[in-house]
Chain A
């Protein structure tokens, strides 16, 4: 229980410069940020982003860091949610050269470092894939890698974030399996599973309790709670399941 446990200065707000904005899907953007004096981060940590309007009104939200610790400039991947105050601004208005206020890195619980034993089982719903991607990118940079599996849930095929990169990572690495499930459509030629992640799907695609995986589950709150419950039902020890809830909608 010492991972990420440490002491240090209190969190401060910093001004970050937007270096690049890349479209991942129709509604998700990856934003590369240069943060002065960035102390480095662990895979799985997040930042808080604060926007201030001309009249002084402020809105603040959390965003996971998508880039691995090896990379100096940090990348956030933001999915626009319908009528979302902050995500709409970040995905639609933000341009290279803009400045954003952020603080971090934040959190030490939902983190993975390459030194942890056991296969890595990642389960993500929608943008919940972001911190899991930081873990997979970090893992790809490590010399000795535990076997890893990612099971992720999406409404449609076109909504899948990082699809090409994940395919590439998995095709270069027999120890990595990536499975996407679709909940809202069944496109022609789709060979992956369909439907929500439940105990049956976890039994089919995730490591069994005997393999003692390290489990990371991230996504909308109802998704995380349903997956964590199913994992416990399958016999995984609750203390091996790390979860991070992203918020309201469970509509995956």
Chain B
């Protein structure tokens, strides 16, 4: 796993609020398949840099950038460059599940 001294290194759990503004499904349990190394990772385990102004989510296996989320002018820009597949459970509604 890539190690840097960047203070802002968090994980995908901390991006759940941000992604919850875009997606109607629970993102942290969605599985991403990395296009670089084929590793399957729940979004909650991706390595997160930055949060509010723009978030970069990297693969915990090979460090490649999986997603970049920015919001330049009241619009979400979602760059999924490193995600080959995203698997989302087809389940009950958010309210029923809790």
Q: Does A119 contact B (CB under 8 A)?
A: no
A107-B13 contact, Cβ under 8 Å, with A11-B21, A60-B52: yes
The interface centre, meaning the residue of A6, A10, A242, A245 with most chain B CB atoms within 10 A of its CB, is A6
B91 cross-chain contacts in A, Cβ below 8 A = 2, 5-7
A244–B94 touching, CB < 8 Å: no
Q: Could you say which of B17, B21, B97 contacts A62, with CB atoms under 8 Å apart? A: B17
- Residues 1-48 (chain B) with a chain A CB within 8 angstroms: 1, 3, 7-14, 16-17, 20-26, 28-31, 42-45
B88 cross-chain contacts in A, Cβ below 8 A = 5
Q: What 0/1 pattern do residues 96 to 124 of A give for CB contact below 8 A with B? A: 00000001111111100000000000000
A4–B29 touching, CB < 8 Å: yes
A187 cross-chain contacts in B, Cβ below 8 A = none
Q: Does B89 contact A (CB under 8 A)?
A: yes
Shortest A63–chain B CB gap in Å is 11
A109–B13 touching, CB < 8 Å: yes
A104-B17 contact, Cβ under 8 Å, with A8-B95, A244-B11: yes
A3 cross-chain contacts in B, Cβ below 8 A = 29
